[in-house]
Structure 1
Amino acid sequence: MMPSRLSYVWLAQRNGLGAGTAAELLRAFGSPEAVYAADRAALTASACPLRKAQVDTLCDKNTDEAARIIEQCTRAGIQILTIGDSAYPDRLRAIADPPLVLYVRGSWPDFDVTPAVSVVGTRKATPYGLHTAEEIGAALARAGMITVSGMALGADGAAHRGALRAGGLTVAVLAGGVDVCYPPQHRSLMGDILLSGAVVSEYPPGTEPRGTHYHNRNRIISGLSVASVIVEAADYRSGALITARHALDQGRDVYAVPGALDAPQSRACNELIEKGEAALLRSPQALVRTYLGLLPDRTVEQQARRAFQRQTGERSAPAARSAWDEIRRREEQAEQRAKQAEKTEKPSAAAAAALPAHLSDAERQIAELVQQGVGTAEELIERCGLPAPRVMSLVTMLEMDGVLRREKGRLVLGRK
């Protein structure tokens, strides 16, 4: 029997077929091996409508090129993910035209466990756009999410750098082979991405990027993500706006960063917001807050553990574990107390009014406790009755928002 990986690569390399048609063929025949085995009569009679040229290319059963690609990837340490593999992201698999094969360099994250957000924008980004893209990437990274972009000049590169600066995960989707760095100015950025994240493409190694590849690449960027953020885009022909269109077609959330009324780089973003096709992005923290619930408990706990270690002066690992165990013990006690009685302490109306109106109920509860003088993580966990990872995550978000800050080791309200 023909190896599955070989048949997937063979099918993906059929000229003139397209990812959407290939996906229909898989549904009609059940497997790439069955597509390979089908003769002209079976292909013509299949439930997938095919043009004569497509039938002709499927009748070419030569697998030499597919075998060469697999051998090349093996030598170069490039991972081949097929749509039938368990590591292939379910979110990408669900789009109408998923790539049959992904070529990956670096450490491929688990997109089914950790949510990803794409951040894209014009190559001719303004200083405002570059700063915003970098801040969004950093905020996503600090929250434990994946930042996806296209490694292009401008906003894309800034988003990757923001995620890397914050020590997080970022994935670059390329319009050429994963061994081809484009633009060449981003060779060092690509190296940095490969140290902790990954670069991915549906095109085999050695493929040079060209026009149509970018349009196809953009559907993967949005397809991997729960949401796409458009930072700056001058008009509807831009790649960032193509990503937004793909995201809308895929049923994903779209956000646009607003700009000045007369700023040409923000024209398309402002129009997306005006037409209701994209939500206005108020801040990176608001974006993170929207998708924080998609993070697995262990990721939130890891973020909380790191935050707690920073708070306690970077204790040694055994000491930090011991402290964390103590927090968990107090958490269990707090949950029991919360079930037995309602909290009686209420902040004054003036104090409550001083807090930002956009806070969630849980964030407001934490802020109000800090208003009352509760200044440490241990005290917050003991008083509010929420799980420790959740408390630490909320504290981190409030610090990012400028609602809380640390002063002499204790939490207080407001920025410095």
Structure 2
Amino acid sequence: MGQGVHHAWLQLMLTPGLGPISLLHYERQFATPHAILRALPRLKPELTLADASWVERLLTQTHQMGATALHWREPAYPQQLLEISDPPPLLFIQGDGALLNQEPLIAMVGTRRCSRNGERFAHKLAADLGQMRLTTVSGLAVGIDSAAHAGSLLGGGATVAVLGCGLDVSYPKPNMQLKAQIIRQGCLVSEYPPGTQPHPKRFPRRNRIISGLSRGVVVVEGGLKSGSLITARMALEQNREVFAVPGAVDDERSRGVHQLLKEGATLVESAADVVQALAWGGVVPEQAKRVAVIPSGGVSEVLPDIPGAASVVAALGDGALTVDGLLRLCHLTPAELSSTLLQLELCGIITREMGGTLALVPQVS
């Protein structure tokens, strides 16, 4: 029955003239894909159904490459995606599909022709979120997308790549090693069957899945007419949070981001801004939420839960220090110190001052 359902949905998806919205309408009317197939000759006699043997070959190829097909009435289908107006009837998934129902997923998008600063920031932001065990979603494009995926993996988190082509297609070529790593430590997703080649019209459709899977979308760099802005607009239509990272005022790559900020997007300077906004929405897991707000017991209650925090706070007791100064005094590795500083910043215990130094925030008794 399950294989038959996948076959029926894929045959409908590949039939020219049918799309997710019309199929959703027909499903409400006829309940099953098989019933839709039986009714179509009467309802749409001008349509020619996709060849059944071709559909079967695509499903066989999907299984042979270690991927799975998931239709929208299976429990494992991402529930967030069902909230949008045009969810794909069938998803092709390779890797850990359970990540798709993990709350919250955070999308990060931006231009392919990013600045070096934008690339560094996206990588660090994703790494910091990864240290909080939060999963990022992006589109595996070169530029900001790649930095987001790589940063999340480096930080110990997972990442989801949504493709605008078949899972087996080597695109973009420079990201094949990253793609393989995502299969091992994350998940690939596409609404397109194996063999589907990339095409400009497919990427805007891919973007609705990136935002639809996520609770919030962070735009790092993007022009006024960029695909990143399309994703942000889709996120707003889907009732998702939109975050924007400000850039240089004279850089064309910042124009779209600044427009989003003018329209009310949440400004992002660090992972703390993202986590705190999502914590207020009640969708952040406990391991992240517990360091997003200082408990009623104050700083002393937080420090035992954060490795290395006591030594950092003690070192800053005599005044602001640079990261290098803290490394010398606290005997932590750079990775350990980065994680500790992020969590202390999320708690409001420390702050970053002009010049990049860190200082304690005065606590109100």
Residue of 277, 288, 291 corresponding to 1:290: 277
Give 3-state SS (helix, strand or coil) of 1:24's partner: helix
Distance of 1:35 and 1:394 partners within structure 2 = 55
Contact in 1 for aligned 2:14/2:50 (Cα 8 Å): no
Aligned-partner Cα distance in 2 for 1:414–1:246: 39
Please say if residues 139 and 288 of structure 1, whose CA atoms lie closer than 8 Å, have aligned partners that are also in contact. no
Amino acid at match of 1:192: Q
Moved over 6 A (4+): 393-396
Aligned counterparts of 1:126 and 1:402: Cα–Cα separation in 2: 30
Q: Is the 8 A contact 2:123 2:148 kept in 1?
A: yes
Q: How does 1:206-217 map to 2 (within 5 A)?
A: 206-217=195-206
Query: Given the superposition, is the C-alpha separation of residues 394 and 289 from structure 1 closer, same or farther in structure 2, using an over 3 Å criterion?
Result: farther
- CA 1:76–1:233 in 2, change beyond 3 Å: closer, same or farther? same
Q: What amino acid maps onto 1:114 in structure 2? A: E
Aligned length: 321
Match of 2:178 among 182, 186, 189: 189
Q: Which residue of 2 aligns with 1:314?
A: none
Range 164-173 or range 107-116, more displaced: 107-116
Show structure 2 runs of 5+ residues with no match.
Answer: 310-338, 352-357
Question: What corresponds to 1:170 in structure 2?
Answer: 159
Following superposition of structure 1 onto structure 2, how do residues 375-386 of structure 1 map, counting pairs within 5 Å? 376-377=304-305
Does the aligned pair in 2 maintain the 1:19–1:98 contact within 8 Å? Answer: yes
Instruction: Give, in whole Å, the separation in 2 of the partners of 1:108 and 1:219.
Output: 18
For residues 162-207 of structure 1, give each alpha carbon's deviation from its aligned partner in whole angstroms, at most 9, with x where no partner exists.
1010111101001101111211001111111111101111001111
Amino acid at match of 2:19: G
Corresponding position: 1:270 with 2:258: yes
Q: CA offsets, 1:204-244, max 9 Å, x none?
A: 111111011101100000000001111000222x1111111
Residues 104 and 199 in structure 1, CA contact (< 8 A), matched pair in contact too? yes
Deviation per CA, 1:89-128: give whole Å up to 9, x if none.
1110111010111111111134334210100000011112
Supply the distance in 1 between the matched residues of 2:84 and 2:4 (Cα, whole angstroms). Answer: 26
* Alpha-carbon offset, residue 263 of structure 1: 1.6
Is it true that 1:34 corresponds to 2:35 in the alignment?
yes
Which residue identity lines up with residue 282 of structure 1 in the other structure? Answer: E
CA contact (8 A) 2:27 2:33 kept: yes
**CA–CA distance in structure 2, aligned partners of residues 156 and 113 of structure 1:** 20
Q: Deviations over 1:351-377 (max 9, x none)?
A: xxxxxxxx8452x7432x37xxx9644
Q: Hey, what does 1:179 align to over in structure 2?
A: 168
Equivalents in 1 of 2:270, 2:285: separation in Å? 23
Mapping for residues 327-406 of structure 1, pairs under 5 Å: 360=293, 362=295, 365-367=297-299, 369=300, 376-377=304-305, 397-398=343-344, 403=349
CA apart distance, 1:28: 2.0
| Greater Cα offset, 216-225 or 135-144 | 135-144
Note closer, same or farther for the CA distance 1:200–1:113 as it changes in structure 2 (3 Å cut): closer
C-alpha distance in structure 2 between counterparts of 1:100 and 1:253, whole Å:
25
Distance in 2 separating the partners of 1:113 and 1:188: 25
Structure 1 or 2, whichever has the larger Rg, is 1
Q: Identity of paired residues, percent?
A: 36
* Secondary structure in 1 matching 2:101: coil
Q: Does 1:124 align with 2:113?
A: yes
The structural deviation recorded for 1:295 is 3.8
Q: Name the TM-score, length of structure 1 as normaliser.
A: 0.70
Q: d(CA) in 2 for partners of 1:73 and 1:36?
A: 22
Equivalent position of 1:321 in the other structure: none
CA distance in 2, matches of 1:122, 1:400: 28
Superposition RMSD in Å:
3.0
Aligned to 2:233: 245
> Aligned letter for 2:36?
V
Task: Report SS of the residue matched to 1:102.
Answer: strand
Q: Is the 8 A contact 1:175 1:214 kept in 2?
A: yes
Q: Which residue of 1 aligns with 2:224?
A: 235
Q: Deviations over 1:303-345 (max 9, x none)?
A: 99xx9xxxxxxxxxxxxxxxxxxxxxxxxxxxxxxxxxxxxxx
Q: Indicate the residue corresponding to 2:11 in structure 1.
A: 10
User: Shift in Å at residue 394 of structure 1?
Assistant: 10
SS at match of 2:46: helix
TM-score normalised by the chain length of structure 2 = 0.80
Give the whole-Å Cα distance in 2 for the aligned partners of 1:231 and 1:396: 19
From 119, 123, 129, the counterpart of 1:140: 129
Residue 93 of structure 2 aligns to which amino acid in structure 1? V
Letter in 1 for 2:275: V
